[in-house]
Structure 1
Amino acid sequence: MTPAARLAAAIDLLVAIENAPRRPADAAANAFFRERRYIGGGDRRAISTLIWDVLRRWRRLHWHLRDVPGGGSPRLLCGASMILGGESVEAVRALFGGARYAPDALTAREDAALAGLAGHLLTEAAMPRPVRLEYPDWLGPALEESFGEGLEAEMAAMEAAAPLDLRVNLLKGSREEARAALAREGLMAAPTPLSPWGLRLDGRQPVTAAACFRDGLVEIQDEGSQIVVAALGARPGERVLDFCAGAGGKTLAIAMTMENRGQIAACDVSAPRLEGAVKRLRRAGVHNVERHLLEAGDKWVKRRAGSFDRVLVDAPCSGTGTWRRNPDARIRLTEQDLAELRIKQAEILDRAAGLVKPGGRLVYATCSVLEAENGAQVAAFLERRPDFAAEAAGAEAVPECQRDHARIALTPLRHGTDGFFAAILRRSDRP
């Protein structure tokens, strides 16, 4: 594709994302490219890079275009992102030539808006702090509670593109074997610094086409997510519950730590998500997992009260820790969303706690950096359930920087991972 055709496709994709405000951008992008299989891999990456740059710069771009009648259209947002990212006005104007496969020519209003950006910086001192740091105005107090004086640096780290982390499936081979297999296909990976099972690649790379992925030797999983599994500490022969299993990413890692021995129950309220786990489980060679759909009136939870050695609650959350890879999430998140999530988290935590046997371990985890969803949620739970207490991770497979802590808090700035939180709780031996 020509650069102009790539820009035209990016504008079409941004329109599709804006027309589905509650749908994650990556899901919209996947659907967009599935319908346009003629777009090659290199072109897909170039188009995606342009769109993700727009999403990461969303508030700043709209601030620059605030005086334009009608505001920032997808055409203007893409053009402004390119200019403020270093392209000349003339080069961007030329892409809107109206030729075959190119975007329509700029209107006089659009041309004036883009020309007015010449000499400006993407981030300018006059911007309000939430605009400059790309977060919703209403979320400022919660972020300041979490990060204090480190807010600026933490949010700057959130702006960077996330690396691609893989988890080596030790049921199929070692980390060095996986690294060598990737290298044979031109994918150069380095060991992750915290997870003993992780490999890291720069940027978006075609891992899913690699033989070692198709054969189940590696799975795509952020290093922080791997650390959450390490904190659970599941062992061979135990009964383990992944209470919010989704498509089974952490379930797969738990099965690996259990060496495929023992029993794992993977539960979720979404049948499509659970169904999506089937292929992944088969590919990974995992055979000790039963899946269960949680439905209203279901007596499954009641029948299994107090029967699991370890329970993982990977709770639904704001996803603020994943803003590097899901920048659109910061645009879609509302105050009402957060309030509803906090209620749901408490309900799920209470329900899951009843499934932990006396002396068993409960791990509550989120991919959020907000204290309201993390430490405050755990503190409120411990007040409701005095039969649970915080437990240090000890010398299990948790990284050295997190050992002897009952709470794990990871951020892109400090650890190079997504933002993750995990609280390790032990139920009293007395029933």
Structure 2
Amino acid sequence: MTPSARIAAAIDLLAALEDQCFAPTARRRPADAVASDFFRARRFIGGGDRRAVSELAWGVVRQRLRLDWHLARIGMAPTPRLLLLAQMVLAAGADDHGRTRQAAEAAFDGSRYGPAALDAGERRAAASLAGRPLIDAAMPDHARLNLPEWVMPAFTARFGARLPQEAAALEAEAPLDLRANLLRTTREAAATMLAGEGLATEPTPFSPWGLRLPSRRPVTGTKAYKDGLIEVQDEGSQLIALLADARPGMRVADYCAGAAGKTLAMAATMGNRGRITACDTSAPRLEGAAKRLRRAGVDNAERHLFVPGDRWAKRRAGSFDRVLVDAPCTGTGTWRRNPDARLRTRPQDLTELVAVQHEILATASELVRPGGRLVYATCSLLPQENEEQMERFLARDPRFKPAPLDGLWAALMPGATAPCAGPWLALSPGDQGTDGFFCAVLERAT
């Protein structure tokens, strides 16, 4: 593809993302799913061109909040063409001297496979944007920090003066964390095997099972992955499984298991002894979980699909030693991996999810036996889904009391410093270098 043809394809991809992800009437599908469908329908786009087109489009997605501000400032609507043009022009900043603007304008060449030539309004926009910094001092705080305006009060309450550092960490490229599957290997042996395949890793600072690559690499083709020695799992997610403290012989419920990442980790701490049930409302996710369980050599796990009218939970009330609720949430802690989510997620989603989380906690808590533990987790940075949710639950159900993090960590990791202070595990990209996670461990009275 010519450079102009790549730009035309990126504009088409941005239009698809707007229609299916970001517009008020959109289905709000994940952007990677939309992109996958886009390229599947255009198999003539080769691998190198696909990467180039994706980089163009994702550059706009990552900077969309700032680009919207720049376009609004000059009175222009954020069309896919103008968004990409603005990204190209603003990327060079004040040191450009017009070169990037000229190159951007030239790329809209009206050729057979390229984008149509810029009209007069688009040329005026390019001229107005040229030489300006992408991050402008005149921006309101939310645009300058690349955060949706509606999260600012909660993020400010959570991070205070550290908010700029946390916002920058949410924009940075995330590392790729792996978990050594202790059912089949050790962390050291997995690292050695990966090194032999050209992937040098470092131990994660907190998880005793974790290995870290500085950036995303194609690990699923490695022998270590195919043989079930490693799983892709952020260190923060690993720590939630660690705090669940699922032991051999226990009965464990992973109540919102999804594709079973934490089920796999807990099965390893159980040494394949006892019973763990992975529950979810999605049949495709549980089917994916079955494949991962087989590859990892897990044979103490079963799956349960929740359906309307399901009485599974009522029939098993008070029978589990550990119940993990990895609750559906806004996913604000994963925005560095999923930049489209900061555009798709809306205030009403938070309101709805907080209610759903409360209902799930009420149901799942009944599964915990006296003396057992309820573990609540999210990949959110918002207090409404985390600390406030715990305050609400504990006020409603006096049978449960917090198990403070410092005591849990000392028992699980003797001599090691806990990742954070306070009663709960609260992780963020800026503080711990993980995705943003929250985890609370509650004990039911005997």
Shorter-chain TM-score category? over 0.9
Cα offset, 1:419, TM superposition: 0.5
Inter-CA distance 46–171: structure 2 relative to 1 (3 Å threshold)? farther
2:409 aligned with 1:394: yes
Identity within the alignment, %: 59
Inter-CA distance 31–177: structure 2 relative to 1 (3 Å threshold)? farther
Measure, in 2, the Cα distance between the counterparts of 1:382 and 1:20: 39
TM-score normalised according to structure 1 size:
0.93
Kept after mapping to 1: 8 A contact 2:419/2:432: no
Measure, in 2, the Cα distance between the counterparts of 1:67 and 1:405: 43
Give the aligned partner of residue 50 of structure 1: 56
What does residue range 278-427 of structure 1 map to in structure 2 within 5 Å? 278-392=290-404, 393-397=408-412, 400-402=417-419, 406-427=423-444
2:204 aligned with 1:165: no
* Unpaired stretches in structure 2, ≥5 consecutive residues: 22-27
Give the aligned partner of residue 34 of structure 2: 28
More moved, 182-191 vs 164-173 = 182-191
More moved, 201-210 vs 319-328 = 201-210
Cα offset, 1:175, TM superposition: 2.1
More moved, 73-82 vs 264-273 = 73-82
Measure, in 1, the Cα distance between the counterparts of 2:397 and 2:435: 30
2:222 aligned with 1:210: yes
Measure, in 2, the Cα distance between the counterparts of 1:45 and 1:209: 19
TM-score normalised according to structure 2 size:
0.90
Give the aligned partner of residue 75 of structure 1: 81
Amino acid of the structure 1 residue aligned with 2:426: A
2:248 aligned with 1:247: no
Measure, in 2, the Cα distance between the counterparts of 1:57 and 1:121: 12
Superposed CA deviations along residues 47-94 of structure 1, whole A, max 9, x for unmatched, are 333333222211110111115565121122123223322271223233
What does residue range 249-288 of structure 1 map to in structure 2 within 5 Å? 249-288=261-300
Amino acid of the structure 1 residue aligned with 2:439: A
Measure, in 2, the Cα distance between the counterparts of 1:182 and 1:13: 35
Give the aligned partner of residue 25 of structure 2: none
Measure, in 2, the Cα distance between the counterparts of 1:107 and 1:198: 53
Cα offset, 1:397, TM superposition: 4.5
Cα offset, 1:25, TM superposition: 1.1
Measure, in 1, the Cα distance between the counterparts of 2:47 and 2:207: 30
Inter-CA distance 281–371: structure 2 relative to 1 (3 Å threshold)? same
Give the aligned partner of residue 68 of structure 2: 62
State which of 205, 211, 230 in structure 1 corresponds to 2:242.
230
Superposed CA deviations along residues 279-338 of structure 1, whole A, max 9, x for unmatched, are 111121212111111122211101111111111100011111111111121212222111
Measure, in 2, the Cα distance between the counterparts of 1:170 and 1:3: 48
Amino acid of the structure 2 residue aligned with 1:58: R
Superposed CA deviations along residues 102-125 of structure 1, whole A, max 9, x for unmatched, are 333333322332232211111111
Amino acid of the structure 1 residue aligned with 2:417: E
Superposed CA deviations along residues 169-218 of structure 1, whole A, max 9, x for unmatched, are 22222223322333333333222222122222233322222232222222
DSSP 3-state at the match of 2:228: coil
Inter-CA distance 312–89: structure 2 relative to 1 (3 Å threshold)? same
Cα offset, 1:271, TM superposition: 1.6
Amino acid of the structure 2 residue aligned with 1:363: V
2:91 aligned with 1:85: yes
More moved, 339-348 vs 387-396 = 387-396
Superposed CA deviations along residues 104-160 of structure 1, whole A, max 9, x for unmatched, are 333332233223221111111111111112222232222222112222221121111
Cα offset, 1:405, TM superposition: 5.2
Cα offset, 1:232, TM superposition: 0.6
Cα offset, 1:416, TM superposition: 0.7
Superposed CA deviations along residues 200-249 of structure 1, whole A, max 9, x for unmatched, are 22333222222322222222211111111111111111111100001111
Measure, in 1, the Cα distance between the counterparts of 2:232 and 2:123: 42
Cα offset, 1:19, TM superposition: 1.3
Inter-CA distance 216–23: structure 2 relative to 1 (3 Å threshold)? same
Give the aligned partner of residue 130 of structure 2: 118
Amino acid of the structure 1 residue aligned with 2:218: P
More moved, 51-60 vs 100-109 = 100-109
Inter-CA distance 79–184: structure 2 relative to 1 (3 Å threshold)? farther
Kept after mapping to 2: 8 A contact 1:406/1:424: no
Give the aligned partner of residue 15 of structure 1: 15
DSSP 3-state at the match of 1:49: helix
Inter-CA distance 35–174: structure 2 relative to 1 (3 Å threshold)? farther
Cα offset, 1:402, TM superposition: 3.5
RMSD of aligned alpha carbons: 2.1
Give the aligned partner of residue 149 of structure 2: 137
